[in-house]
Amino acid sequence: MPITPDQQAEIDAARTDQHTTMRATVPGMEAHLYKAHEVLDHGFIRVIDYMGDDNAIVQAARVSYGRGTKAVQNDAGLIRYLMRHWHSTPFEMCEIKLHVKLPVFVARQWIRHRTANVNEYSARYSILDREFYIPAPEHLAAQSKQNHQGRGGVLEGEEAARVLDILWADSNRAYDHYEEMLDQDGQDGLARELARMNLPANIYTQWYWKVDLHNLFHFLRLRADSHAQYEIRVYADAICKVVADWVPHAFAAFEDYRLGGAQFSGKGMDCVRRMIAGEQVDQASSGMSAGEWREFQAVLQG
Amino acid sequence: MPITPDQQAEIDAARTDQHTTMRATVPGMEAHLYKAHEVLDHGFIRVIDYMGDDNAIVQAARVSYGRGTKAVQNDAGLIRYLMRHWHSTPFEMCEIKLHVKLPVFVARQWIRHRTANVNEYSARYSILDREFYIPAPEHLAAQSKQNHQGRGGVLEGEEAARVLDILWADSNRAYDHYEEMLDQDGQDGLARELARMNLPANIYTQWYWKVDLHNLFHFLRLRADSHAQYEIRVYADAICKVVADWVPHAFAAFEDYRLGGAQFSGKGMDCVRRMIAGEQVDQASSGMSAGEWREFQAVLQG
Amino acid sequence: MPITPDQQAEIDAARTDQHTTMRATVPGMEAHLYKAHEVLDHGFIRVIDYMGDDNAIVQAARVSYGRGTKAVQNDAGLIRYLMRHWHSTPFEMCEIKLHVKLPVFVARQWIRHRTANVNEYSARYSILDREFYIPAPEHLAAQSKQNHQGRGGVLEGEEAARVLDILWADSNRAYDHYEEMLDQDGQDGLARELARMNLPANIYTQWYWKVDLHNLFHFLRLRADSHAQYEIRVYADAICKVVADWVPHAFAAFEDYRLGGAQFSGKGMDCVRRMIAGEQVDQASSGMSAGEWREFQAVLQG
Amino acid sequence: MPITPDQQAEIDAARTDQHTTMRATVPGMEAHLYKAHEVLDHGFIRVIDYMGDDNAIVQAARVSYGRGTKAVQNDAGLIRYLMRHWHSTPFEMCEIKLHVKLPVFVARQWIRHRTANVNEYSARYSILDREFYIPAPEHLAAQSKQNHQGRGGVLEGEEAARVLDILWADSNRAYDHYEEMLDQDGQDGLARELARMNLPANIYTQWYWKVDLHNLFHFLRLRADSHAQYEIRVYADAICKVVADWVPHAFAAFEDYRLGGAQFSGKGMDCVRRMIAGEQVDQASSGMSAGEWREFQAVLQG
């Protein structure tokens, strides 16, 4: 239950507050505004504000290309053209602001995307809540044997139980001690900015995160990808659903060209051409390393 | 007359298009939306969209500082505190999108502010209009004798007339030749991307420019400053008026701390302290160079 | 002749100044340092400084991935892996600083790449030289009939002569008038920041441009591309030659994966798979628009 | 002891590797290269590479301002002028690359400076070492009573002992459990990307951090400030010492104008002027709030 009854009442109140505007407005986004979409055991994403729509992308492209673009193509076609040719600036004309609650180890990955605006809850200034991410049993993955940076099968039985016990007990003990160190009954109480260092990386934090659509697509391409860590991918997936309602043409183009697309090297293109011409190509004749050939085949199989 | 009757009709139409939204809405900005504020002889700025208001700044700060901030201060006081202490991230939570028409030599200065999103009219793709900036007589400034990068008095009489004649004639001849080179009657016509090279830096271009409030304040601090070139300063001044209607508390803080404020070096602070203590300080005893001392005195006199 | 004898003497002097350093040093880049590589009729690029080499990329990747990466792969293989998987941060660990002389209309395209550091010659402060880009006859291209943003055949005969005459005469007249307006014999002289507005977009400017290798590759991918305007592509080509001497493994990977590679949409991948399976696919059965299908076929043909 | 004998041997080896270069070289920085400057109990900063020197700043400014700057001022004076007038781009022409080992809670503050390049040790890919920051007794500060975000006196006696016991025991228990969860003896072993979530914020991480001098000064202004948290300030202080050896003129200007300088609002300047004129000003007549007046007085007292 990431949202308390008090928070829900605040959200409901915000949603009754209607204004009149001449700005571009998207009914699908109005339906999302302020609502919490739950992610993981205590996390969420909430849309706090948005600027622009599919038409704002088209409008910006037409400022660039002048009258010429007006007749030629319909909006969806123009947006597909822009996406296909990496004309990124029109997508930068849309902006979204999210309120996100997420575990600290996810926040540490997320913040590496530098072209966004962030206001994070300050544990120097305030006291964090006792909320920790504990994986659901089906996400308690083993280390991959092949891939240093991946997951293998799911832990089972006693090993799973032991891991969950550790995570649960250590989180709560760390929080008990955090409170004890801060506590001031007859004592000075450790500074908040120091006490927080005892808290583990699965504690939840929260932030406002504001980003333009081009940079959001870049984030989603990397984080909604199957190689991304599950715990950040679920946030990316939740955001994808929102974006599909916000800018449906742009999102459809993004799905086709980025999420669903593939990229080949010069060597890879040689192989593709030879294969289309009917030739049997194997690793030896491909000019690729074993790893690259394995990845190439995986892409071809889809 | 920067706006044609057709364009005015489009603006009027856009302004009749009312929507209902739950987003933060600022009546003062709704009054500006789409309207052209004229700048120079053919330029303008127009607000195309905005996100957030004074309250969005406060809200973002409170996400960072938690419950503590709620009781302590009123909104205006909190915004002043953020501005005074260079806590810039809450100001990044507001965003504005402008449509700007401006001479190319102004655009070249403006674009140096990198943290913004831009879609400029493409002279590779489209044909530019015959519109040139010709200074009004009272802005036909002479080169400053003291300052390599400044203006002195206003040119007068024959010299002024000669300058205006040159600017007028050269601009129009360049444009005539631009059209001639593009013209395809029985000829191939030079590529647009080449023909544009004949056009002078006072031709008008236009762009959509989107920026967050923190970076906008940085732009305005530099460009609404008395040392900025007049031709960009008038754009900054026009934007200042819009921002004052958009986020009145933030703009008041910006005026007091940035536009109206001053900054001293360690040496300067020593002098200030000695002067408050009643000492007479001159350049020799200040430890400053002649130039620095001159600037220091100018700041003290205001 | 972009370089005067005085400038050449300065370059020669700088190249005799040898120092001892423990930093990563690349002999191939030492051979380039300070020398002018001529571009267009008066332009050049010069390497002023560089930081890092192929090994710096590998080293940064190994800080990220820890001991695991040490045994697995050789340096070239690791660099290819990073490029293939868009792991861009290790490439950001290399930095280059160039001195570039270029026409203003090229500078206007170039500056749109925001993630770089720039110091440009200031025409507010100083007086520009009388140097203009005049295309060589073989680059005097006609407007493309198909593509709004492209070039067709080369202009010939009288039309070519007329264009060259215009460019030459207008440039020089504009410069004559620029000097006249600045001139102060018994007059005030127009401020430099105003007089420059009479100068056309083919006048040369210059700047120091400093960028990291990741962002440089992004620039080169867009500007060394066959769709880029010829006048910026020649700069990108000249930089490519330098980069090949600086970080040969990284540049080889960039050539294979970016310059020589191709990208398909989800729809495109479906077609590729069907074609490899021996199916005849045409536009109707591809699910693509006419334009997209044309581009798809062009990519397949290479 | 942040550096193992093996690491020290590697550093010593790197420092024997001498090259010849024509690039700008700073003897003071050569003395720092690769060496570890210890910070906190297990942290360090090391200079891995640098580009440019004081002269590179001057050179870039002269590209901008042209010949005019040559005669007028000496280098130190020009650098002071640039700093005083916030001409930041010449400072961007210098670049430094550091290897930093630091606690995670410090890294989380540090990474908020977005305009830098970072490669961090990946706990998805590799296993972290058992190294935790435990404050020295004299830095075991109590929460400030006045300032939500500050420190008061030092904890003493039993309370101090209890805090140190908690930090020590919890860190080590968390690490024991981290190892147990990863351990694969007859078990699958939890994925590294999950196991890391049990580790507290005082564990050490490391990264390569590359930044230009302008953005480094911005970082140092905020983090070498007395309001910065002690545990990041010691890193900023260590970097300041390196920068003073790298670009002595620029650092001296930074110390005078930024670290040692002060800034006043418009209201503050009114008060300063009245005080210099001999008037007694108190809060009531200052127009400032109580908090602002307190800060104003603190600045005046220095």
Listing DSSP states for B50-99 in one string gives EE--HHHHHHHHHHHHTTHHHHH--HHHHHHHHHHTT--GGGGG-EEEEE
Chain A contact for B290 (CB, 8 A cutoff): no
C-beta of residue A267 within 8 angstroms of C-beta of residue A296: no
**pLDDT tens per residue, range D220-256:** 999 999 889 999 999 999 999 999 999 999 999 999 9
**pLDDT tens per residue, range B45-87:** 999 999 999 999 999 998 877 655 554 568 899 999 999 999 9
CB contact under 8 A, D148 and B68: yes
CATH T-level fold of A5-133+202-259: Gyrase A; domain 2 (3.30.1360)
Residues of chain B with Cβ-Cβ distance to A206 below 8 Å are: 63
The band of C72, judged by pLDDT with boundaries at 50, 70 and 90, is low
CB contact under 8 A, D263 and B266: no
Chain A contact for B51 (CB, 8 A cutoff): yes
Question: Residue B69 has what pLDDT?
Answer: 53
Q: Residue B6 burial (CB < 10 Å; 0-12/13-18/19+)?
A: exposed
Question: Residue B73 has what pLDDT?
Answer: 62
Tokens matching residue B175:
């444009």
| A202: Cα within 13 Å, side-chain hemisphere | 27
Within 10 angstroms of residue D263's Cβ, the number of other Cβ atoms is: 14
Binding region of B for dUMP = 109-112, 120-124, 196, 223
Which of A253, A222, A61 is CA-nearest to residue B117? A61
Closest-CA residue of chain D to C121? D64
- Average confidence score pLDDT of chain A: 93
Closest-CA residue of chain C to B106? C197
Which of A42-46, B182-186, C83-87, D158-162 is the least confident region? Answer: B182-186
* Integer Cα distance of A221 and D68 in angstroms: 50
Within 10 angstroms of residue B262's Cβ, the number of other Cβ atoms is: 18
**pLDDT tens per residue, range B16-35:** 999 999 999 999 999 999 99
Question: Interface partners of A (3+ CB pairs, < 8 Å)?
Answer: B, C, D
Q: Which residues contact A103 (CB under 8 A, 6 or more apart)?
A: A40, A43, A132, A133, A201, A202, A203, A204, A205, A231, D197
Question: Residue B225 has what pLDDT?
Answer: 92
**pLDDT tens per residue, range A129-177:** 999 999 999 999 999 887 777 889 999 999 999 999 999 999 999 999 9
* Integer Cα distance of D208 and C93 in angstroms: 8
- Please determine, for residue B149, whether its predicted confidence score (pLDDT) is greater than 80: no
SS3 A27: helix
Which of A247-261, B54-68, C66-80 is the least confident region? Answer: C66-80
Of the residues C46, C67, C221, C223, which is catalytic?
C223
CB contact under 8 A, A300 and C273: yes
In chain A, which among 117-136 make CB contacts under 8 A with chain C? none
Question: Residue A146 has what pLDDT?
Answer: 76
Q: Which residues contact A285 (CB under 8 A, 6 or more apart)?
A: none
Closest-CA residue of chain B to C122? B149
In chain A, which among 137-176 make CB contacts under 8 A with chain D? 140-144, 148-153, 155, 159, 162-163, 166-167, 170-171, 173-174
**pLDDT tens per residue, range B105-114:** 999 999 999 9
In the CATH scheme, what is the code of domain D5-133+204-259? 3.30.1360.170
Which whole number is the average pLDDT over C264-280? Answer: 95
* Integer Cα distance of D102 and C258 in angstroms: 36
In chain D, which among 197-216 make CB contacts under 8 A with chain C? 206-208, 210, 212
Beta-sheet strands, E only, within chain D: 19-21, 36-39, 43-51, 95-103, 117-120, 141-143, 151-154, 204-212, 262-264
Looking up tokens 């076609």 gives: A77
Catalytic residues of D: 223
**pLDDT tens per residue, range C83-139:** 999 999 999 999 999 999 999 999 999 999 999 999 999 999 899 999 999 999 999
Which whole number is the average pLDDT over C169-193? Answer: 93
Within 10 angstroms of residue D172's Cβ, the number of other Cβ atoms is: 12
C-beta of residue D193 within 8 angstroms of C-beta of residue D123: yes
Which whole number is the average pLDDT over A280-286? Answer: 95
Question: Residue A284 has what pLDDT?
Answer: 94
The band of C73, judged by pLDDT with boundaries at 50, 70 and 90, is low
**pLDDT tens per residue, range D71-126:** 456 889 999 999 999 999 999 999 999 999 999 999 999 999 999 999 999 999 89
Q: Please report, for residues B121, B133, B142, B172, C150, the alpha-carbon distance to residue B175 in angstroms, rounded to integers and kept in the order given.
A: 17, 13, 27, 5, 21
Q: Is the dihedral of CA B274, B275, B279, B280 positive or negative?
A: positive
The band of B1, judged by pLDDT with boundaries at 50, 70 and 90, is low
Which whole number is the average pLDDT over C13-37? Answer: 96
Residue C123 among known ligand-binding residues: yes
Q: Residue B67 burial (CB < 10 Å; 0-12/13-18/19+)?
A: exposed
- Please determine, for residue C220, whether its predicted confidence score (pLDDT) is greater than 90: yes
CB contact under 8 A, D300 and B272: yes
The band of A72, judged by pLDDT with boundaries at 50, 70 and 90, is low
Helix (H) or strand (E) holding C270: helix C266-276
- Please determine, for residue D67, whether its predicted confidence score (pLDDT) is greater than 60: no
Amino acid D85 reads H
Which candidate from B148, B256, B264 shows the least CB-CB separation from D265? B256
Q: Is the dihedral of CA D225, D230, D234, D236 positive or negative?
A: negative
Tokens matching residue A111:
């913040």
- Average confidence score pLDDT of chain D: 93
Q: What percent of chain D has pLDDT over 70?
A: 97
Question: Interface partners of D (3+ CB pairs, < 8 Å)?
Answer: A, B, C
**pLDDT tens per residue, range A172-191:** 999 999 999 998 777 889 99
Chain B contact for D291 (CB, 8 A cutoff): yes
* Integer Cα distance of D268 and B272 in angstroms: 12
Question: Residue A247 has what pLDDT?
Answer: 98
CB contact under 8 A, A119 and B90: yes
Catalytic residues of B: 223
Which whole number is the average pLDDT over B145-166? Answer: 90
Q: What percent of chain A has pLDDT over 90?
A: 85
Reported ipTM: the value is: 0.94
Q: What percent of chain C has pLDDT over 70?
A: 97
- Please determine, for residue A216, whether its predicted confidence score (pLDDT) is greater than 60: yes
Chain D contact for B292 (CB, 8 A cutoff): yes
The band of A40, judged by pLDDT with boundaries at 50, 70 and 90, is very high
CB contact under 8 A, A210 and B212: yes
Listing DSSP states for D221-282 in one string gives HHHSSTTS-HHHHHHHHHHHHHHHHH-HHHHHHHIIIIIS-EEE-HHHHHHHHHHHTT----
**pLDDT tens per residue, range D156-171:** 999 999 999 999 999 9
Question: Interface partners of C (3+ CB pairs, < 8 Å)?
Answer: A, B, D
